[in-house]
Structure 1
Amino acid sequence: MNETVYQHYRKEEAAFIDQVYSWMQQVENRYTPYVSNFLTPREAMIVTQLVNTNEDILLAFDGGYENAERQRACLYPNYFEPSADDFKVAALNLNFPVKFANITHGKILGTLLSTGVERGRIGDIITDGERWHILVDQTMEDFFIQQVNKIGNVGVKLEPIDKNQLLTPIETWQTITIISSSLRLDALISKVYNFSRQRAKDSIAAGLVKVNFVEMDRGDALVGVQDIISVRKFGRFWIQSVEGLTKKDNYRLLVNVLEI
């Protein structure tokens, strides 16, 4: 393992980098594929960068449908050809009285996590504006079906469906260019949503902001490429690329913003 690799990532990502190297070692030692939990886009980017340094290991991703946000990685030796079945992604339909209940992404995720299952076992939660479908680790499918019968005060039933029956998400992403003096979380929120810097800081302090689906309480936290930032009631965004610096040494960023 090249120790200089760590300097290209955040300190808090060191444990994940070690994990990826252990996956790679497992593939090399056993000469068999390894499938990860569902990864955030940032984690998927790190896996791609690390695996690409090893000519003997190949890599594929699948989240259950095209352009899934959270995907599982399959690291495999060159003799192996992964299929969709190898990723073990199951799809569940959320059956509930649509006309009489208000169910949100946050409520669904919170209920699933309250069963004690780690976040990495849950993929995307998608909606067409009325119905909801959930992608999960196939080994947890029966568990969720048995354990989840209420979301808030709404009675629900999870039902297995084939992935070719999945909804088409209604999310619309817009790509914009912003100029920011730094890659701090509060600065980026301020630029993307046209907030004052103080309002961005207040939103973070109030627990309204998540980075890669985890609540963040530090406005000075640095945001990297492929990090997903969500601001409650405003949507999500992520940096697609750093396009360079302006003459005043500000960052020129290409950002994908979810319109809600």
Structure 2
Amino acid sequence: MDKRTGMDDAVLEAKLRDAVRIAERGRAHFVGFLDERQAGVAQSFMRHTGFSNFLFWGGYPEAERVLFGAFPDYQEACPEDFPLETFTVSYRMCDSLTHRDFLGALLSKGVVRETLGDILVEPGRAVLFSRAEVAEFLLQQTDKIGRVGVTLSRGAQEPLPVPHTFAPFSGVVASARLDCIVALAAGVSREKAAGLVSAGVVMLNHEVVTSVSTQVTEEAKLSIRGKGRYILDRIGPVTKKGRLSIAGRKYI
């Protein structure tokens, strides 16, 4: 069971199965918000079912918490059809609020975690995403976060607050195999990297992958238990010595 949501994989798969069944009967259906691990479970489940007309969307391209949408054959899967609302929370620049402050305050009001997406915080402003069905409740009930007075309004101006900071990494590898990429990202030998992959502690795009020969592509997300999380930004070009140039970022 995912302790943060109370939803185990069996419950999630049942919801996904229902979503597919509803879509096959001609109506789009949505599950979530899902965290990154759950999105990986959903991705794997869809691959095994053979259902392909689905999309993950969390309000912006880099969202970590996303809704899963299953769509009927006649309907293109697109972000505009997701039951999602975007809000801006404004407060004084001198007031210091964190993601934990916002999440704790909203949950204390009875909002279910599954109805909330990402919460992006910067000085004086936060942008949060929710399911449409809780939008009016949030508008009516959100005037304080802790002891800080706030104003909640629909929509958000770009650029959005930056959710993470990163440390860049780069180097050259023999190929885009998973063990090579893990070795570079984690700063370990290829033999050690192969052991990490085989041990099931490496997730590629939110799915556990145990094959060291799996090919990694640009924009892939990598999680190595005990080492960190990474985004692969660039694969290539090939150097004069025939090795592959790699560049990416580590979450810090």
TM-score by length of 1: 0.63
Instruction: State the Cα RMSD in Å.
Output: 3.3
**Distance of aligned partners of 1:17 and 1:34 in 2 relative to their CA distance in 1, 3 Å threshold:** same
AA matched with 2:203: V
Aligned counterparts, 1:36-55, within 5 A: 36-55=31-50
**Distance of aligned partners of 1:120 and 1:166 in 2 relative to their CA distance in 1, 3 Å threshold:** farther
Aligned to 2:203: 225
Aligned to 1:215: none
1:61 equivalent to 2:56? Answer yes
Aligned to 2:15: 19
Q: Cα distance, 1:36 vs. partner?
A: 1.6
Aligned to 2:102: 108
Aligned counterparts, 1:1-260, within 5 A: 12-28=8-24, 30-99=25-94, 101-162=95-156, 165=158, 167-169=160-162, 171-174=164-167, 176-177=185-186, 225=203, 244=212, 255-256=229-230, 257-259=250-252
**Distance of aligned partners of 1:240 and 1:139 in 2 relative to their CA distance in 1, 3 Å threshold:** same
Confirm or deny: 8 A CA contact 1:37 1:121 kept in the other structure: yes
- In structure 2, C-alpha distance between the alignment counterparts of 1:84 and 1:22, rounded to whole Å: 20
- In structure 1, C-alpha distance between the alignment counterparts of 2:123 and 2:11, rounded to whole Å: 38
SS in 2 for 1:159: strand
SS in 1 for 2:48: coil
SS in 1 for 2:40: helix
Unaligned runs of 5+ residues in structure 1 are 1-10, 184-221, 228-237, 246-250
Q: Cα distance, 1:226 vs. partner?
A: 6.7
Q: Cα distance, 1:160 vs. partner?
A: 1.1
AA matched with 1:258: Y
Q: Cα distance, 1:64 vs. partner?
A: 0.6
AA matched with 1:93: T
Residue-by-residue CA offset, 1:59-92 (whole Å, 9 max, x unaligned) = 1111111111111111112211133221122111
AA matched with 2:251: L
- In structure 2, C-alpha distance between the alignment counterparts of 1:107 and 1:13, rounded to whole Å: 28
**Distance of aligned partners of 1:40 and 1:223 in 2 relative to their CA distance in 1, 3 Å threshold:** farther
**Distance of aligned partners of 1:253 and 1:171 in 2 relative to their CA distance in 1, 3 Å threshold:** closer
SS in 2 for 1:53: helix
- In structure 1, C-alpha distance between the alignment counterparts of 2:68 and 2:159, rounded to whole Å: 21
**Distance of aligned partners of 1:146 and 1:44 in 2 relative to their CA distance in 1, 3 Å threshold:** same
AA matched with 1:105: H
AA matched with 1:135: F
SS in 2 for 1:77: coil
SS in 2 for 1:134: strand
AA matched with 2:29: Y
TM-score by length of 2: 0.65
Confirm or deny: 8 A CA contact 2:98 2:121 kept in the other structure: no
- In structure 1, C-alpha distance between the alignment counterparts of 2:208 and 2:55, rounded to whole Å: 20
